[in-house]
Amino acid sequence: MYDWASELAATNSDCPEGARLRRLESRVCPAKTMEIFQLKYFVTAARLLHFSRAAEELYISQPSLSLQIGKLEAELGAPLFHRQGRRVSLTDAGEALLPLAERILEQEEEARRVVQQVAGLERGRLSLCALPALDQHLLPPWLARFRREHPGVEIRVRELRPARAVAQAVLAGRADLGFVHLPCEHEGLEVRPLLQDPFALVVPEGHPLAGRSQASLEETAGEDYVWVSEAQDSEHPLYAACLRAGFTPRIVCQSGSAQGVLALVAAGLGIALLPRLAIEARPGTRVISLTDPEQFRTLAVLWQPDTLSHSARRFLDLCDPDP
Amino acid sequence: MYDWASELAATNSDCPEGARLRRLESRVCPAKTMEIFQLKYFVTAARLLHFSRAAEELYISQPSLSLQIGKLEAELGAPLFHRQGRRVSLTDAGEALLPLAERILEQEEEARRVVQQVAGLERGRLSLCALPALDQHLLPPWLARFRREHPGVEIRVRELRPARAVAQAVLAGRADLGFVHLPCEHEGLEVRPLLQDPFALVVPEGHPLAGRSQASLEETAGEDYVWVSEAQDSEHPLYAACLRAGFTPRIVCQSGSAQGVLALVAAGLGIALLPRLAIEARPGTRVISLTDPEQFRTLAVLWQPDTLSHSARRFLDLCDPDP
DNA sequence: CATTTGGATAGGCAAAGGCTATAGGTTGCA
DNA sequence: TGCAACCTATAGCCTTTGCCTATCCAAATG
């Protein structure tokens, strides 16, 4: 036997030695806990009131069972069984412990079940985060399918703006997946482009273009534009599209949201350039496709590469454009 | 490594070898359970999200912690932590397990507490069983004191008749202690005499003896007696007392209970011989002590020698005549 | 780029669980 | 009463396993 005492007599400071000494100390007077297998042994023995048969049921030998019961009793400081010759019965302490031990065993079972349900997508949580237009027009069909296939998973969708905030939410772990349009700063995030969302014009009924089904962006160089407030930036895809088409849009009116813009167009204040997915059919307006093929924004999904939950992994597979 | 396979190839019959083979089998593909100490490790690591610091708090080394977490993950079949370089976070499975693991740890704590409360008489149950007169007149002061000292213990008192039934209840474990008068068959029961309960006469007012405070049993040889039905047996202490005094009581009327006998005496049908403890003061009757010193019954408590609960042990100490 | 931080891995040791064999005490029956 | 069956406790041995130290490797930090 090693001589702990002398070692423990040494200084118990906070230097690296401190932790080691405290560990030694905790081994000298161990604060042991009962263990689940001991509770399982106890419950079986308590139900059968027969050590040998209980041991058989547990697939261990009778002495092993006796030993573990003895340890449990020693640790609790009270005998659990009366051993009167060949008859065995519970003491009051054993009687008190039995229901509690059974509860613990049930919960151990439940813990295992729940973890496996999470892994098997029978349970869990999926938290998504998307730009306003996307959660309304892009996600629903995928969400419907996911819900149908995994009805036990709780789904949470949050709308955030701008794309930067979405990326931050994903980075901070507040969302499993983020849906944005590119380009988007993605320091340390995985990005997968999903699809291309073409831009389209929206004009009020009665506007010269209203009868056409297609138009080119150049044609609208002289029009009055209703614009989304935050998109007045040459970095923004909509603004950049106009610049590419050779003009700077004359913005006569702004709104904070695509819905707002559409309302203003319906009121006749001007025309608008918006991504298709953000346009809702609205009386008093006409939607006109662009002939310019490369006028679009790319939608993408972001996620943290190493912390995907089972449900997020599955959703990602689900919205993969080429499965 | 031992060669299990060949051993398992042997017949798996029901002979004594059967159990041994099944045990071997269960060691080859062990149905292991998670253990409480592993859950404790997991909870600590999950709360701190830092293996080294958690290990320090648990007074173990960091590799030990990593190893046990790894085993837990292997057994559950799902990783519990994301280890992304030096940052640690919970997976969805870990997130799901955490509250369950915490509940199990709380209940382990509670199990220990409850057992110790039973042992410390802060909790538990005391079940007594007594002959009718005794539970009403002998036990109450002891019960009051026990209750005052151990208010957490649930007390249950049952009235049974005759003494034989009390002994059986104790023997069958339906009661911890039984209170009877001697003699009483006590196969395998411990008996401790408690006190001597002297017999006394009860006479109606106006009876020739009514004015006396003492009388001898012989004097009543010619009286009409009211008697307890089941006590008409030469074995019964009351009947035996009369026989010892040299006469056979002339029984003119019977009742099933001491109360009933007293009522009949009050009605003037005769006199009665009863143990003092069974006599309740009653208008229309007078109680007269016996001069014969050895006319009494001995009251005793019975219990099973080897299965005393903590509370029964304590109650026994409490009603010990010479503490 | 060097350093520090922090988890994983390797190898050795001691404790602990399990097993067989056996002792010791009841129970039940001849 | 004595013998046989039954059942739990103990002893001695073996295997497993939990824990330790030392070290490695990757990521973060300056």
Whose tokens are 């007269």? That residue is B288
Handedness of CA B262, B265, B266, B267 (dihedral sign): positive
Instruction: Identify the top-confidence range among A1-10, A259-268, B106-115.
Output: B106-115
Beta bridge partners of B81: B90
Q: Does B64 touch chain A if contact means CB atoms closer than 8 Å? A: no
Q: What is the mean pLDDT of residues A260-283?
A: 85
pLDDT score at A148 = 87
Closest nucleotide to A58: CA versus each C1': C18
Name all protein residues with C-beta less than 7 A from any atom of nucleic acid chain C: A 1-2, 30, 35, 37, 59-61, 63-64, 67-68, 71, 84-87; B 20, 23, 50-53, 62-63, 66-67, 69-70, 81, 83, 86, 88
Percentage of residues in chain A with pLDDT exceeding 90? 19
Q: Looking at the partner chain, which of B96, B115, B124 has a beta carbon nearest the beta carbon of A115?
A: B96
Residue nearest to nucleotide C5 (CA to C1'): B86
Label residues A226-257 b or e (16+ Cβ within 10 Å = b): bbbeebeeeebbbbebbeebeeebebebbbee
pLDDT in tens, B192-232: 888 888 888 999 888 888 888 888 888 888 888 899 887 77
Rounded average pLDDT over B271-289: 85
Nearest to B276 by CA among B201, B208, B211, B226: B201
Identify the pLDDT of residue A249.
Answer: 86
pLDDT over 50 at A5, yes or no:
no
CA distance A25 to A22: 5
Measuring from the CA of residue A68 to each C1' atom, give the nucleotide at the shortest distance: C17
CA count, 13 A, side-chain hemisphere, A239:
12
What mean pLDDT is predicted for residues B163-186?
82
The pLDDT of B272-276, averaged and rounded, is 88
Estimate the crossing angle of helix A92-119 against helix B310-318, to 10 degrees. Answer: 160
**Exposed (0-12), middle (13-18) or buried (19+): which is A305, by Cβ within 10 Å?**
exposed
CB atoms within 10 A of CB A181: 24
Pair B43, B99: CB distance under 8 Å: no
pLDDT at residue B50, as a whole number:
92
Q: What is the mean pLDDT of residues B278-297?
A: 81
Mean pLDDT along residues B4-10: 45
Q: Rounded CA gap, A50 and A44, in Å?
A: 9
What number is the average pLDDT over the span B79-105? 90
pLDDT in tens, A137-188: 888 888 888 888 888 888 888 888 777 888 888 887 888 899 988 777 667 7
Residue A135 has pLDDT above 80, yes or no: no
Q: Output the pLDDT for position B9.
A: 46
How would you classify the pairing of strands B214-215 and B285-290? parallel
pLDDT tier at A98 (50, 70, 90 boundaries)?
very high
Which range in A2-11, B22-31, B114-123 is most confidently predicted, on average pLDDT? B114-123
Greater confidence (A113 vs B20) lies with A113
Residue keyed to tokens 């085993």: B71
Closest nucleotide to B37 by C1' from CA: D18
pLDDT value for B284:
81
Query: Which pairing describes strands A296-303 and A214-215: parallel, antiparallel, or unpaired?
Result: unpaired
Question: B32: part of which helix (H) or strand (E)?
Answer: none
With a cut of 70, say whether residue B87 has pLDDT above it.
yes
In this structure, what token pair is assigned to residue B206? 């106006």
- Flag the least confident range among A71-75, A196-200, B170-174: B170-174
Q: Which nucleotides of chain D have an atom under 7 angstroms from any protein CB?
A: 6-12, 15-22, 26-28
Count of C-beta atoms within a 10 Å radius of residue B165: 15
Over residues A85-96, mean pLDDT: 87
% of chain B with per-residue pLDDT over 90: 18
C-alpha torsion angle, residues A116, A122, A128, A134 (rounded to 10): 150
Cβ <8 Å between B104 and A112: no
Strands B87-90 and B81-84, bridge-based pairing: antiparallel
pLDDT at residue B236 is higher than 60: yes
Say which residues have a Cβ less than 8 Å from residue B302's Cβ, sequence separation at least 6: B166, B167, B170, B177, B178, B179, B180, B184, B186, B189, B190, B191
Q: And the tokens for B287?
A: 């109680």
Amino acid B321: pLDDT: 62
Q: How confident is the model at residue B132 (pLDDT cuts 50, 70, 90)?
A: confident
The per-residue DSSP string of A80-144 comes to -EEEETTEEEE-HHHHHHHHHHHHHHHHHHHHHHHHHHHHTTSSEEEEEEE-HHHHHHTHHHHHH
Look at residue A23 in the predicted model and tell me its pLDDT.
66
Identify which has the larger pLDDT, B317 or B322: B317
Query: Taking 60 as the threshold, does the pLDDT of residue B8 lie above it?
Result: no
The pLDDT of residue B5 is 46
| Most confident listed range (B24-28, B81-85, B111-115) | B111-115
Q: What is the mean pLDDT of chain B?
A: 82
